[in-house]
Amino acid sequence: MVDFGQPKPHGKNKKDGERGGTVMIFNTLLEAVDARIISQDEQRHSLWMKMLPSLAFQIGRLIIGQNGILSTPAVSCIIRKIKAAGGIILTASHCPGGPGGEFGVKFNVANGGPAPDVVSDKIYQISKTIEEYTICPDLRIDLSRLGRQEFDLENKFKPFRVEIVDPVDIYLNLLRTIFDFNAIKSLLTGPGQLKIRVDAMHGVMGPYVRKVLCDELGAPANSAINCVPLEDFGGQHPDPNLTYATTLLEAMKGGEYGFGAAFDADGDRYMILGQNGFFVSPSDSLAIIAANLSCIPYFRQMGVRGFGRSMPTSTALDRVAKSMKVPVYETPAGWRFFSNLMDSGRCSLCGEESFGTGSDHLREKDGLWAVLVWLSIIAARKQSVEEIVRDHWAKFGRHYYCRFDYEGLEPKTTYYIMRDLEALLTDKSFIGQQFAVGSHVYSVAKTDSFEYVDPVDGTVTKKQGLRIIFSDASRLIFRLSSSSGVRATIRLYAESYERDPSGHDQEPQLFSKKIPLLLLFNKSSSQVAWW
């Protein structure tokens, strides 16, 4: 954990002759936890680990969220607000916690976004040279007390300063500059009020949900559930999808609530449900948000410059971009690829099929921001979630989309699978092949191994997934993923487009069977995610 939390190229380097290591000098560094470490003993242990980079690498000021809890979007917000050198987030995102669960460390750079590959690679190389580190086991910091605390430490020429901040208030103040809170509050409290149900899944988002949606916007307290952050997330998997957010799904199926949302452990992913459990796919949510940005004061003032999506995300966003006459940038999976686009003013809104959406107000995906966007759209259009989605399909067509996850594979096995697939799909004879499924004939128009050239700095990122694109714009994508633990995962994405409104009511898993080649793979999938 310590290795990946230490150096950052934005700081100054100097050689430490005594230890033979590398010392980084920062002005300000931010530290955050997603709820995996909140018990007293664990908190002290976490604190020691937090102090390691601070003490050993001469950080002048350390900012920590009250009680050690800070969402990933709030980290990005605070880094940008105080112009910190960066931030260390102790999180494994949507993966389970507690005994036997997962743990991770993430480093965000000075723009508030995830470290780009060049920084992560440098950190890794330096980590291999570390021979020892220094700890201060007697140091005690009250994480519950807001304000500055200073400590005189041996071998330090000036006091070491720690500031405990209220991250919820700081983040809330940013949201106030983006949204029309009066319109949302009227929606939640006025005549014909919209009843909502929001599940924080015992992750970091509980305090944010209660403060923003309940205290600030007037939603009843019982609208928010599972809002106490727990180190094991209540024994649940904090992943906001139809597989794991079943408590919310069952509540929504009852018909009492018109809007439902769930968040992952660190608050950057979200899921939207309508009345009776109507599910909004992440790709549809991104496209619908893009088509309705005029409902948000921030975008009416700032304008819309362009959109970004990860390559596996459905092309529903592209149709919206075309209608708005703005560019859309297709990147590899991973939010870090969007930061350059936003910093250069090319991109206003970005999203991924893995339940993440965000805008240039931060450099991270932002679950609560997305929920407030949806509530703003509902308030402006005076329609239900389902009506908004169906109107979007009627105007732009529906993109049916499925993802199949082949998990727990040996890395060597995945290497040979992907190698053989690439040889098959990139053979020139594969182009033009036709596959008849019922009355429809699918013709292969293009295949490639996706490669991204950053339009800002020219950085090239290769081998980001294998694509089959058919003449009707249907797609099959094969991609390696390392986000499911130590073993490897191959993800298979299937997308098919239906323009005819009479075909908009099919189940995605049934519709996807029209896509050729899928039947070669779906029987061995260890987990299937449908949207």
User: What is the DSSP annotation of 45-58?
Assistant: HHHHHHHHHHHHTT
Hey, CA dihedral for 38, 43, 46, 51, is it positive or negative? positive
Two structure tokens written together for 435: 């596959």
Q: Is the pLDDT of residue 7 over 50?
A: no
Same domain, yes or no: 153 and 257: no
How much of the chain exceeds pLDDT 70, in percent?
A: 79
What confidence score (pLDDT) does residue 364 get? 97
What confidence score (pLDDT) does residue 162 get? 85
pLDDT tens digits for range 144-187: 899 998 877 766 666 778 889 999 999 999 999 999 999 999 99
Two structure tokens written together for 123: 């950190």
Q: Is the pLDDT of residue 388 over 90?
A: yes
What angle (nearest 5°) sits at the alpha carbon of residue 117, between those of residues 113 and 119? 75
Q: Is the pLDDT of residue 445 over 90?
A: yes
What confidence score (pLDDT) does residue 519 get? 45
How much of the chain exceeds pLDDT 90, in percent?
A: 58
Q: Please give the sequence-ordered ranges of beta strands (E in DSSP) within 157-233, or none if there are none.
A: 160-165, 196-199, 224-225
Q: Which residues pair with 488 in a beta bridge?
A: 409
Whether 83 maps to a domain, the answer reads yes
**CA-to-CA separations, 304 to 291, 319, 338, 359, 414, in angstroms, rounded:** 11, 15, 15, 10, 40
Length of the chain: 531
The residue type found at 8 is K
Same domain, yes or no: 323 and 355: yes
Q: Is the pLDDT of residue 275 over 90?
A: yes
Terminal CA-to-CA distance of the chain, rounded, Å? 35
Which pLDDT band holds residue 231 (cuts at 50, 70, 90)? confident
Whether 276 maps to a domain, the answer reads yes
Q: What is the model's pTM?
A: 0.88
The residue type found at 161 is R
Two structure tokens written together for 440: 């429809």
Which pLDDT band holds residue 526 (cuts at 50, 70, 90)? very low
Which pLDDT band holds residue 461 (cuts at 50, 70, 90)? very high
pLDDT tens digits for range 344-374: 999 999 999 999 999 999 999 999 999 999 9
Same domain, yes or no: 137 and 195: no
Same domain, yes or no: 378 and 483: no
Within 8 A by CB and 6+ apart from 125, the residues are none
What confidence score (pLDDT) does residue 350 get? 98
Same domain, yes or no: 409 and 293: no
Whether 171 maps to a domain, the answer reads no
Whether 152 maps to a domain, the answer reads yes
Q: What is the largest CA-CA distance in the chain?
A: 78
Q: Is the pLDDT of residue 17 over 70?
A: no
Which pLDDT band holds residue 44 (cuts at 50, 70, 90)? very low
What confidence score (pLDDT) does residue 21 get? 30
Cα–Cα distance, 198 to 179 (Å, whole number): 19
Of 351 and 484, the structure prediction assigns the larger pLDDT to: 351
Most confident of 96-110, 169-183, 423-437, 477-491: 169-183
What confidence score (pLDDT) does residue 248 get? 97
Cα–Cα distance, 89 to 70 (Å, whole number): 8
Which pLDDT band holds residue 94 (cuts at 50, 70, 90)? low
Same domain, yes or no: 336 and 367: yes
Which segments of 358-410 does DSSP mark as H helices, in order? 367-381, 385-396
Whether 172 maps to a domain, the answer reads no
What confidence score (pLDDT) does residue 487 get? 76
Cα–Cα distance, 64 to 50 (Å, whole number): 10
Of 56 and 326, the structure prediction assigns the larger pLDDT to: 326
Least-confidence region, from 381-395, 417-431, 446-460: 417-431
What confidence score (pLDDT) does residue 61 get? 79
Cα–Cα distance, 82 to 13 (Å, whole number): 22
Same domain, yes or no: 248 and 388: yes
Q: Is the pLDDT of residue 2 over 50?
A: no
pLDDT tens digits for range 173-185: 999 999 999 999 9
Cα–Cα distance, 102 to 487 (Å, whole number): 13
410-415 long-range CB contacts below 8 Å, 24 or more apart?
Answer: 410/487, 410/488, 411/487, 411/488, 413/488, 414/480, 414/488, 414/489, 414/490
E strand or H helix at 31:
strand 21-33
The residue type found at 35 is A
pLDDT tens digits for range 310-348: 999 999 999 999 999 999 999 999 999 999 999 999 999
Number of C-beta neighbours around residue 136 at 10 A: 17
E strand or H helix at 496:
strand 488-498
Question: 504, 327, 499, 308: which is closest to 396 by C-alpha?
Answer: 499
* Residue ending a domain, choose from 361, 396, 431: 396
Cα dihedral: 174, 178, 180, 184 (round 10)? -70
Which pLDDT band holds residue 138 (cuts at 50, 70, 90)? confident
What confidence score (pLDDT) does residue 160 get? 76
Report, as an integer, the average pLDDT of 489-513.
85
Same domain, yes or no: 336 and 421: no
Two structure tokens written together for 309: 């999506």
Same domain, yes or no: 7 and 108: yes
CA-based R_g, the chain, Å: 24
Whether 481 maps to a domain, the answer reads yes
Whether 371 maps to a domain, the answer reads yes
Q: Is the pLDDT of residue 27 over 50?
A: yes
Which pLDDT band holds residue 382 (cuts at 50, 70, 90)? very high
pLDDT tens digits for range 234-272: 778 788 999 999 999 999 999 999 999 999 989 999 999
Average model confidence (pLDDT) for the chain?
84
The CATH number of whichever domain residue 440 belongs to comes to 3.30.310.50
Question: 86, 95, 77, 117: which is closest to 34 by C-alpha?
Answer: 95
Q: Is the pLDDT of residue 513 over 60?
A: no
* Residue ending a domain, choose from 166, 185, 219: 166
What confidence score (pLDDT) does residue 35 get? 52
Of 56 and 163, the structure prediction assigns the larger pLDDT to: 163
* Residue ending a domain, choose from 396, 417, 449: 396
What confidence score (pLDDT) does residue 324 get? 98
116 DSSP 8-state letter:
P
Two structure tokens written together for 436: 């008849």
Same domain, yes or no: 323 and 251: yes
Which pLDDT band holds residue 383 (cuts at 50, 70, 90)? very high
Let me know: does 200 contact 227? Beta carbons within 8 Å. yes
Give 187's Cβ-side CA count (13 Å radius): 25
**CA-to-CA separations, 372 to 240, 273, 379, 422, 467, in angstroms, rounded:** 17, 14, 10, 42, 34
Q: Is the pLDDT of residue 132 over 80?
A: no
3-state secondary structure of 402: strand
Q: Which residues pair with 76 in a beta bridge?
A: none
Which pLDDT band holds residue 140 (cuts at 50, 70, 90)? confident
Backbone angles phi, psi at 9, to 5 degrees: -60, -20
Q: Which domain holds residue 162?
A: 3-166
Number of C-beta neighbours around residue 438 at 10 A: 7
Q: Is the pLDDT of residue 70 over 80?
A: yes
Cα–Cα distance, 148 to 478 (Å, whole number): 50
Question: 114, 54, 52, 105: which is closest to 79 by C-alpha?
Answer: 114
pLDDT tens digits for range 194-220: 999 999 999 999 999 999 999 999 999
Same domain, yes or no: 371 and 422: no
Of 331 and 524, the structure prediction assigns the larger pLDDT to: 331
The residue type found at 447 is T
The CATH number of whichever domain residue 294 belongs to comes to 3.40.120.10
Cα–Cα distance, 80 to 520 (Å, whole number): 48
Q: Which residues pair with 69 in a beta bridge?
A: 33
Same domain, yes or no: 106 and 155: yes
Whether 71 maps to a domain, the answer reads yes
Burial 343-361 (b: 16+ CB within 10 A, else e): eeebbbbbbbbbbbbbbbb
How many domains are there within the chain? 3
Catalytic residue numbers read 93
**CA-to-CA separations, 105 to 31, 97, 102, 328, 383, in angstroms, rounded:** 10, 13, 11, 31, 41
